[in-house]
Structure 1
Amino acid sequence: MRKTKFFAVFALLFLLLLCACNSSEVTKINLAEVTRSLFYAPQYVALEKGFFEDEGLEVELQTTWGGDTTMTALLSDGADIALVGSETSIYVYAQDSKDYAINFAQLTQTDGTFLVAKDPDPNFTWENVAGSKFLGQRIGGMPQMVGEYVLKQHGINPHTDLELTQNIDFANIPGAFATGEYEYVQLFEPTASVFEKEGQGHIVASFGEESGTVPYTVFMAKQSFLNEDPETITKFTRAIYKAQQWVADNSAEEIAKVIEPYFEDTDLEILTSSIERYKNQDSFATDPILEEAEWSNLKAIMDEAGELPADVPYEDLVNTEFAEDVISN
């Protein structure tokens, strides 16, 4: 009798210990971001506020510097999840990839670049850009495609009506503009605000405001990962949604303080004003759902730039089930 009772107690303790161990299990996620940008503020908020940890996820962030290298990391299993422009998923799909990337959670919903003029232009109109020396972004990337799209909407053909330069590496564009004879450039924050503060340039327009909503930067994973580990994708998406809501509910100054460790070389004042500019134009998505209308706008922009390799249906490369689940629950 005593042996039976002893083994019963022992079994109960073992089960409790097993449950405790299971409840504290941590899933490691390798996350690749296409560049380091305060445009991705909600992602850094999720990391700093512990939203991933709350979901039992240990996220290791790596900056892979460029759409091509980011997708290579994802497709070769160097990363589990990638934060990159959704146009890259279309490029991969068009190459008949067997295990292509699926967009499952949207982070930003507008273009993040601003038109910066070398000289002050308080009476700026888009017609002023015609005939100018314009420093654009790399061919095939979202900034360049959106830039061309907006210019064409204002009757300017970037390839015939401008002295357009597109062969400067992303990291070297600010320096090239500062030292060169270019009259206009496309810049992300906080670089645009830094240039303005230092008198090296003047923000005259926003490409994000001009181009409408678009799935500019999206979290994606291979189809096989979504199929094999949907629970992890759900947890990851839930953490991002919490961060998106936190960003929507808090001031630019509070957001800047949280993400400051990721931008040690940028003044808190510049971080704050840059985030405020993005918040004012609704650049940060408030939920992770990528809408079909946004997907259609993306394809229209790519098509206008001559960079759409295939008319990929929304349902082929977008999965909103995880986002809808975390929102509804």
Structure 2
Amino acid sequence: MKNSARRFVAALLAAALTAACGGTGGDDSGGEMTLRIAQSSTSVGYFTLYVAQQEGFFEDEGLDIGEPSVLGGDSKVAAALAGGAADIGGGVATTAFLLADGGRDPRIVANLLNSYYVDVIVGNQFSQPPPDATLEEKIQALAGARIGVPAPSGGGAALLQFLFNQVGLDMETDVTMVNLGGSSSGAVGALQTDRVNALVFFQPIGQQVEAQQLGSIYISPSRGDIPDMTDQPHAVAISTAEIVEDKPEEMAAFVRAIARAQELIHVDRARTAELFGTYQSSLDPNTVELLLPVLQREVPDTPVLTEEGYAKTLDFHRVAGLAENAPDFATMSGDDLAGRALDE
């Protein structure tokens, strides 16, 4: 996986160069505050962005974000940031660390989801160990599996590497990795047709699989299956030092809008359910209802990145071999950019 991560960084920088050459660059908005936002998918990790936009919280802050681009992968979000095609990227913390390893000086502007919301999901055809199996035994049982992931170097692959490092398995030799892209229907279909017999995918794929009785959630950090990963920031809003310095008022306005969205998710269940139903329109109402308490538990009370939370995600990525040149907390948080924005 370390070699895969290094190859990812090389590809990222090449993609960034292409993006920089073909990007639109800055815009002339006549003084209006604008930010270009790109996100990797429409997973639950970026629901807060959707809430802030639909409820007009960005507009209330005098900020125009237009229509966020959904790029279909964290590597594409990283390339957009590195190449100047986006001001803020909705991605996983893994993306920030790999940007740092590539010398791109990232900043985590806001914590969007305070839980590692990627699950290991197995199909009905997978031979599971007994119900009382330990975590280590469950990991060992994955040897020889065909495992689908959204991308070769993202949150799914990082979780798998972290788990395999616990028991001495090798991702390149002990399993067959299948890159399925970010499509929810594609992932569920691959499991249903036995193209893969396991998935490592973001929520709500596991809930969809269970609702259709195609398999089950096998290992879930957000469920507490991996104690060391509780309260770990995962979905985050990422920028770069250069962009943050160039757009300080825009970044502060963004943080304040996200804070209002997070508050709504916690206090207004009915409106949250309505918004999530439109955000994930392919989900049936029963699945949405099952997800709501999970979502409310995972969304942090504040977008501020804490030093304790950063330490947890940093430890995870170091074990996975994905944070060789990680910035310290003060640097990655932009000297508490989010906290200062909320104090204004």
Q: TM-score range by the shorter chain?
A: 0.7 to 0.9
TM-score, normalisation: structure 2: 0.77
Q: Does 1:319 align with 2:324?
A: no
Q: 1:228 to 1:135 in 2, by over 3 A?
A: same
Give the counterpart letter for 1:123 in structure 2. P
Higher mean C-alpha deviation, range 122-131 or range 57-66: 122-131
Structure 1 residues 66 and 202: CA distance shift in structure 2, 3 A? same
**Hey, what's the Cα distance between the residues in 2 that align with 1:256 and 1:157?**
42
The answer (yes or no) to whether the contact 2:101–2:323 under 8 Å persists in 1 is no
How far apart, CA to CA, are the structure 2 residues paired with 1:224 and 1:85?
20
Query: How far apart are the structure 1 equivalents of 2:326 and 2:31?
Result: 42
Equivalent in the alignment of 2:205: 191
Inter-partner Cα distance in structure 1 for 2:146 and 2:293? 27
Report whether the alignment pairs 1:52 with 2:63.
no
Total equivalences in the alignment: 299
CA distance in 1, matches of 2:107, 2:207: 34
| Equivalent residue for 2:181, pick from 170, 173, 186 | 170
Shift in Å, 1:160: 7.8
Please tell me whether the aligned partners of residues 109 and 217 of structure 1 are also in contact (alpha carbons under 8 angstroms).
yes
Note the C-alpha offset of 1:131: 3.2
Q: How do 1:1-329 and structure 2 match up within 5 A?
A: 26-60=32-66, 61-97=68-104, 100-119=105-124, 123=131, 125=133, 126=135, 127-132=137-142, 133=145, 135=147, 137=149, 138-150=151-163, 152-153=165-166, 156-159=167-170, 163-171=174-182, 172-180=186-194, 182-208=196-222, 209=224, 210=226, 211-251=229-269, 253-279=270-296, 282-319=297-334, 321-329=336-344
- What per-residue deviation string (whole Å, max 9, x for no partner) do you get for residues 120-163 of structure 1? 9792533244234251534432222223324555xx33428995
Q: CA deviation at 1:111?
A: 0.8
Residues 140 and 307 in structure 1, CA contact (< 8 A), matched pair in contact too: no
Q: Do 1:244 and 1:286's aligned partners in 2 also have CA atoms closer than 8 Å?
A: yes
Flag the 1:199–1:328 CA change in 2: closer, same or farther, 3 A: same
Distance 2:172 2:78 in 1: 34
For the aligned residues, what is the CA RMSD? 2.8
State the Cα distance separating 1:311 from its structure 2 match.
4.0
Q: Which residue of structure 1 aligns with residue 3 of structure 2?
A: none
Q: CA deviation at 1:248?
A: 1.5
Runs of 4+ deviating beyond 6 Å: none
Distance in 2 separating the partners of 1:93 and 1:160: 23
With 121-130 and 142-151 compared, the bigger mean Cα shift is at: 121-130
- Report if aligned partners of 2:46, 2:90 keep a CA contact under 8 Å in 1: no
**Cα 1:128–1:181, aligned 2, differ >3 Å: closer, same or farther?**
farther
Once the two structures are superposed, what CA deviation does each residue of 1:302-329 show, in whole Å capped at 9, x if it has no partner? 2222222324322222225332134335
Could you list the runs of 5+ residues in structure 1 that have no partner in the other structure? 1-23
Unaligned runs of 5+ in 2: 1-29
Is the contact made by 2:164 and 2:170 (CA closer than 8 Å) also made in structure 1? Answer: no
Q: Are the structure 2 counterparts of residues 320 and 212 from structure 1 closer, same or farther at C-alpha, using a change threshold of 3 Å?
A: farther
1:170-213 per-position Cα deviation (integer Å, ceiling 9, x unaligned): 33443322212754432322221221111111224412332222
Q: Which has the larger radius of gyration?
A: 1
Return 38-47 or 259-268, whichever deviates more.
259-268
Identity of counterpart residues, as a percentage? 19
Cα distance change on mapping 1:136 and 1:293 into 2, 3 Å: farther
Distance 2:240 2:172 in 1: 41
